[in-house]
Structure 1
Amino acid sequence: MIGNAVKLSYRNKTILAPMVRVGTLPMRLLALDYGADIVYCEELIDIKLLQCKRIVNELLDTVDYVAPNERVVFRTCERERECIVFQMGSADANRALAVARLIENDVAGIDINMGCPKEYSTKGGMGAALLSDPDKIELILSTLVKGLSKPVTCKIRILPSLEETINLVKKIEKTGVAAIAVHGRKKEERPQHPVHCDVIKAISESVAIPVIASGGSYDYIKEHADIEIFRKATTASSVMVARSAMWNPSIFRREGMLPLEEVMQEYIKYAVKFDNHYTNTKYCLCQMLREQLETPQGKKLHSAQSTLEICEAFEMETFYEEMTAVLETKKASLDTTKNEANDHVEDPNVVQIAVRFDKREYPPQITPKMCLLEWCRKERHPQPTYETVQRPLDRLFCSTVTVADQKYRSIIWDKSKKLAEQSAAIVCLRTLGVPEGKLSEGGSSLVHKRKWQDKEVPNLAENGDGLSAETSHKKLHFSPGVPDTDTSKAS
């Protein structure tokens, strides 16, 4: 078992190893589908994570760590929460701890990569560069173990001599890490060089903590049964699979690997569902195709410049369109819910009632705005002023009317600016207890006044020489999302 807070066993487990640009969410989920027990994310540099903001993505049901440039640096989901190890590149103990604390509640464990020989890692003193500084290794790991509630592991490469390697591993064991992964090659060796199973075996026999054997893809692991063969050859507690899993993640199936075409289609489905960046999706699929890249399908994939074009290369454009429609519908629903929640937030300075103007309830040419204006004149108040905004999402309108320094609005959004203003007037009139001119209220002075005006000038409106009391003012320009202040006397 690893750690106290999380029961995460490495013994006799298969693991999808981290690979740069490979260990993203779609690939990890696919590996879990096929039988992997534990998955690693790709190595992520500590400084990059410290700049990120944690965001709960309700659209995708994921947790995203987003950089200032809006790029998603790390994405995970509930499904893998108990079986994902977050692998970090770091050369500073305090920085590593800060990142680990930021992310530990979203993962099952934290790993420090001390075996990466790539320049992007070593030039910053990370990865394989740490192998020459055992004291720094000890400081980083012991700081993490003491400061976290989740298990801590590390991954190393072997040193020039067996004695040096075992001494380093024993020093690491004393830090309290839960397990150590050993890539059975030296930092200058590459996949074409044979993996040193004898060194991994010697390490396994020299420490009490679990040892995870890594590096067997090229020489040993071609199918699921080979995972156990490699484990026995190294006497390790478990095996980490990298390139073989990248070429065909169904290598984790005990029943045997699936046809590559089927595996790639399942991978694409996850890539679309979780909005994986098309460049990463394309890279992973190219790694799966390998020698088939020169086929018509491979060439079409290689030239793809979007997720849709990738789907077209695999005749999955219908799936893409359907999933895109599902996500768009969900997004609209989430946006509406959020907007409604924001719309209905109590504002102590505004009287809010849920009302909507229905012209069928009023006599011809009589409106709540007219009633409110007439009341303000009678009471010698300044004329009502209306501030109207339009919501970009659904282009609906909401208006706030100010009367005698008090604001009134309806919490129901309307399909036009005029309707929104009428609704605001209704809220004001009902709050003040003033008749709003409805047919159900019977006769009113405003109705009789309007009938008298119509008799005096029956043809003005028809001839274009005059306008109704509601439209006699000059209209102000109105831009979506920008307050529109209406100070008309006739409204």
Structure 2
Amino acid sequence: MQIGGFDMKRPVMLAPMEEVSDRSFRKICKRFGADVVYTEFISAEALRRQVDKSFRKMEFDPDEAPVVVQIFGNSEDAMAEAAAIAADVRPAWIDINFGCPAKKVAGKGAGAALLKEPEKMAAITAAVVKAVPVPVTVKTRLGWDRESINILDIIPRLEDAGIQALAIHGRTRSEMYRGVADWDWIARVKERATVPVIANGDIWCAADAREMYRHTGADAIMIGRGAIGNPFIFRQTKELLDHGRISSQPDFHDRIEVAIEHLRLSVHYKGERYGTLEMRRHYATYLKGLPKVSKVRDKLVREDSWQQVIEILRAYEEECEGYEREGKIRDYAEFLNDHSKRLVLR
């Protein structure tokens, strides 16, 4: 798959996720093998108004590259101006968010709401392409709801506007994240598109990633929620795709160690207060499935000191060693398989 000057074979990407794909998490996912990482999605209006928080979302280090900046908005002028601002940080490319189903985005006429206005989608895309010297891509969904799936009609409009790739999530806006992503529709998108297609939706483990490639014929895959608390999925996916097997599974030591690394990075980039507070949403996923985890999780989300959080995690690690000797800790691969909607269906 080629986008601009980037030529990649079966790339595995980290999806843009608000309050998740920040600098600290991107670094961790990159270390575990993510080929491309996306920023959190950024408001075009906020960039125009020079909002500091939005500019901080675009900060990245060379070891994260290639990094994609994603922007959203519902005005041609605002999106073009924001794209030009984003281009100044020299991302690999700029992605337009036409897929976010959240009320705070779609409810304001941006994100997935623009699936109801294909002509406006195309106009915004053309304006962004014209405004920047870097490649432009789009991430979107199948349509507004199951009764109005219109992605096949939208594809040629976006291609004519100048996009260099299309990421498609296999749900409609009305489905939010419920049910199971429709990979058959992603395959139809791949058949229709002339630009590379990036498949997204319900990749919960490496086996899902391999099946997504097989089922859809996509040029790349993008992992979102399946990477939260499980950045190991990138390394495992690459191993499975390249060698047909996974060499190792993370144990509770690995999961706790990465959670601590994530916390340290969060504090480094956001300061002690915000770095500690914003990590609270991640502990449940890092520790998911371990014995008696609810008690330790309750302690973690109440603790304001990041040093104390590390002490709690280290104490729980020792506790887990006892559970392991008693045979109370499940193999992580078995746990992931049980939680993969795709594997359950197969």
Q: 1:330 maps to what in 2?
A: none
If each structure's helix is expressed as a fraction of its own residues, which one has the higher value?
Answer: 2
Q: 1:49 maps to what in 2?
A: 47
Q: 1:303 maps to what in 2?
A: 302
1:86 aligns with one of 69, 73, 76: 69
**What is the Cα deviation at residue 46 of structure 1?**
1.3
Q: Which amino acid aligns with 1:213?
A: A
Query: Would you say how many aligned residue pairs link Structure 1 and Structure 2?
Result: 294
Alpha-carbon distance between aligned partners in 2 of 1:145 and 1:124, rounded to the nearest angstrom? 23
Structure number, greater radius of gyration = 1
Tell me whether 1:249 sits opposite 2:231 in the alignment: yes
**1:389-417 CA-partner distances (Å, limit 9, x unpaired):** xxxxxxxxxxxxxxxxxxxxxxxxxxxxx
Tell me whether 1:121 sits opposite 2:116 in the alignment: no
Q: 2:153 maps to what in 1?
A: 167
Matches for 1:362-381 after TM superposition, within 5 Å: none
Q: TM-score, normalised by structure 1?
A: 0.56
- CA distance 1:209–1:72, change in 2 (3 Å): closer
Gaps of 5+ in 2: 240-246, 316-346
- CA distance 1:215–1:90, change in 2 (3 Å): same
Q: 2:257 maps to what in 1?
A: 262
Q: 1:273 maps to what in 2?
A: 268
Alpha-carbon distance between aligned partners in 2 of 1:185 and 1:174, rounded to the nearest angstrom? 24
Q: What is the RMSD computed on CA atoms of the aligned residues?
A: 2.3
Alpha-carbon distance between aligned partners in 2 of 1:256 and 1:92, rounded to the nearest angstrom? 48
Q: 2:26 maps to what in 1?
A: 28
Alpha-carbon distance between aligned partners in 2 of 1:163 and 1:302, rounded to the nearest angstrom? 41
**What is the Cα deviation at residue 235 of structure 1?**
1.0
Gaps of 5+ in 1: 54-64, 317-491
Higher relative contact order (Cα pairs below 8 Å, separated by 6+ residues): 2
1:134 aligns with one of 111, 118, 143: 118
Q: 2:217 maps to what in 1?
A: 235
Alpha-carbon distance between aligned partners in 2 of 1:239 and 1:302, rounded to the nearest angstrom? 33
**What is the Cα deviation at residue 21 of structure 1?**
0.6
Partner SS for 1:189 = coil
Alpha-carbon distance between aligned partners in 1 of 2:104 and 2:50, rounded to the nearest angstrom? 20
Q: 1:205 maps to what in 2?
A: 191
Alpha-carbon distance between aligned partners in 1 of 2:314 and 2:270, rounded to the nearest angstrom? 18
Q: 1:151 maps to what in 2?
A: 135
1:226 aligns with one of 181, 187, 208: 208
**What is the Cα deviation at residue 73 of structure 1?**
4.6
- 174-183 vs 283-292, which deviates more? 283-292
Q: TM-score, normalised by structure 2?
A: 0.78
Q: Which amino acid aligns with 1:266?
A: E
Q: 1:102 maps to what in 2?
A: 85
- Percent of aligned positions that are identical: 27
**What is the Cα deviation at residue 207 of structure 1?**
1.3
Q: 1:314 maps to what in 2?
A: 313
Q: 1:215 maps to what in 2?
A: 201
- CA distance 1:258–1:266, change in 2 (3 Å): farther
**What is the Cα deviation at residue 257 of structure 1?**
4.1
Q: Which amino acid aligns with 2:3?
A: I
Q: 1:112 maps to what in 2?
A: 96
Q: Which amino acid aligns with 2:156?
A: K
